[in-house]
Amino acid sequence: MPPTEEQNIKVVERWSARTLQVGIWTSAILIALGLVLSFVPGDASQGSAQQQMVYDGLSSIKQNAGSPVVLLYLGLILLMLTPVLRVVTSLVGFASEKDKTYVGVSAFVLVVLLAELCYSLIIR
């Protein structure tokens, strides 16, 4: 029996929820790992980096390669990307439901989001 419209919607929402779950759990594990490793005595990089007032975004990751703080950055960036993930999965969902209006609405939101993302990467 072919899936009903309602079942299709449920599948899309469940898939959306699942990708979000993977995202936040991965992020949480990365962060937790990074924090645990930061507490290991003898990790000098943590001390000096903490004096900073400005954390220099992406370049900070390169500077601190090999230090657990990279895990923190990765986890945080992944977390910050989860909303983008959400918009994409919803867009795909609307497309599969052939809902042109909302494909448009969600695409608009995605474009604005990506534009701001690119803007913030470029000015650095």
Partner 1 sequence: MIASSFILLFLGGIATGTLGSLLGIGGGIFLVPFLTLVIGVPAKQAIATSIIAVIATSSAGASVNLKRNTVNVRLGFLLESVTVLGAIGGSFTASLLSGETLIKLFATLLLVVAILMIHKTRQKKSMDAPSSQGILHGQFTDEANGTVVSYAVHRIPAVMGVSFLAGNVSGLLGIGGGIFKVPAMHILGGVPMKIATATSNFTIGVTAAASAFIYFSHGHVNPWIASSSALGVLGGSLLGTVINRKIESTVLTWIFVVVLLFVSIQMYLK
Residue with the two structure tokens 């309602």 = 6
Minimum CB distance to partner 1, residue 27 (Å): 8
DSSP 58-92: HHHHHHTTTSTHHHHHHHHHHHHHHHHHHHHHHHH
Q: Which two tokens stand for residue 13?
A: 């929402």
Which residues sit at the interface with partner 1, rule CB under 8 A? Answer: 10, 13-14, 16-18, 20-21, 23-24, 27-28, 31-32, 34-35, 38-39, 46, 50, 53-58, 60, 69, 72-73, 75-77, 79-84, 86-87, 90, 93, 102, 105-106, 108-109, 112-113, 116-117, 119-121, 123-124
Minimum CB distance to partner 1, residue 36 (Å): 11
Residues 28, 33: Cα–Cα separation, whole Å: 8
